[in-house]
Amino acid sequence: MGALRINLNPAVALCLALLLPAAGQAQDESRLDQMYEALRTAPADEAGRIGREIRLELSKSGSPAINLLLKRGRDAIAGGDMGLAIEILSALTDHAPDFAEGWHARSVAFARAGMPGAAMGDLERALALDPRNFAAIYSLGALLEQIGQPALALDAYARVAEIHPHFDDTEANLARISADTQGSAL
C-alpha cells in the first residue's frame, strides 16, 4: 500500500500556515489573561514573580532576530548609549511594528535622551498595541511627571496599581502626587 499523498493548493497551504500561529497566539493570550488575573490579587512576593513572568512573555516577539534587537537595544540603554539604543530599537520597530515591547523600549531610550515628545509618541503606540502593559503605563506616568502633568501622571499610576498593585514604587508615587496636588485645581 503506497503512502497517502496530499497535494494542497498553495493558497490553502498559506491559509493553514497563517492559522496555526493564530491558534498559538490565542493560547498565549489566554495564558497572559490568567497571569494578569493572578497578578491583580497576588500578595507582594508572588506578584513580583508573576509580574516578571508577564514582562518576559511580553518581550517575546516570536522572532529570534527581533528578540535579539530588543536585547541589544535594552543593553544599549543599560550602558547609557541612548543614540545606539534608539538606532537599534528603530530598526526593531521598522521590522516589527506590531510588537508593543519594541515601542516601549524605544520610548525609554527617547525619554532618557531628553526627547519627551518622541517618547510619548512611542508610548502611545505601545499602549495602543498592549493596553495592559503595566511597565509601559508606569513609563507614561513618569514621563507625564517629567513634563509637568501631575494629574495625568496620577491617573497613569492608578491604572498601574489596578493591573499590578505591587509594581515598583507605584503606591509611593500615588501618595506623593496626591499630596502634591491636593487642594490644587486639576
**Could you report the per-residue pLDDT of 111-153, keeping only the tens digit for each?**
999 999 999 999 999 999 999 999 999 999 999 999 999 999 9
**How far does the chain reach from its first CA to its final CA, in angstroms?**
80
Q: Which residues of 146-179 are buried (b: 16+ CB within 10 A; e: fewer)?
A: eeeebebbbbbbbbbbebbbbbbebeebbeebee
pLDDT at 183 over 70: no
What is the chain's mean pLDDT, rounded? 86
d(CA 157, CA 143): 11
**Could you report the per-residue pLDDT of 78-90, keeping only the tens digit for each?**
999 999 999 999 9
What is the DSSP code string of 119-151?
HHHHHHHHHHH-TT-HHHHHHHHHHHHHTT-HH
Which residue would you say has higher pLDDT here, 1 or 169?
A: 169
